[in-house]
Amino acid sequence: MSKIEGPKKLRKRAQFCADLYEIDPVVNIYWGELQDESSVVRDDNGYYTIEIAPWMKKDKRELIRTIGHEMTHVWQYERGALISLPEESRYVWNDKKHERILFLEDYYLAPWEMEARARMEWVEYKWSSRCRTQKN
């Protein structure tokens, strides 16, 4: 079982994603304070910190999509498809080194981001299906 710390609302959704991906990460997930975007960082010990933009407290749909997106990155790290090289500000994706992400276009076209955006749709679908089933 994963070790996920943080507010219950965030923990519950992150655990749902970890179960979908069949991974057991150590994650600290919390509401950001000043940040307008959400992010995930992996430290040298393989622990993850996920920061969620505070405006998402009022948008349930965007919250599960965003947590799904960030937990997709956790899954990518866990399976070794994504490696961060912070000292070089670069990433390795499926054994191929990628240049620095300097522009928004670079971010949108990065293959790990494209996969995370596609999978957040899947996570949202699975979460919605689960919620509908629990209501019946």
Residue 8 has pLDDT above 70, yes or no: yes
pLDDT in tens, 108-128: 899 999 999 999 999 999 999
Look at residue 59 in the predicted model and tell me its pLDDT: 92
pTM: 0.92
pLDDT in tens, 16-42: 999 999 999 999 999 998 677 899 999
| 37-71: b (≥16 Cβ within 10 Å) or e | ebebebeeeeebbbbbbeebeeeeebbbbbbbbbb
Q: What is the CATH number of the domain that holds 32?
A: 3.30.2010.10
Residue 136 has pLDDT above 60, yes or no: no
Query: Between the CA atoms of 56, 48, 85 and 75, what dihedral angle is there, to the nearest 10 degrees?
Result: -80
Domain count, the chain: 1
Its domain, for residue 76, covers: 3-135
- From residue 25, alpha-carbon distances to 11, 20, 62, 118 in Å are 12, 13, 23, 21
Counting residues of the chain whose pLDDT is more than 90, the rounded percentage is 73
pLDDT in tens, 86-108: 877 789 999 999 887 778 888 88
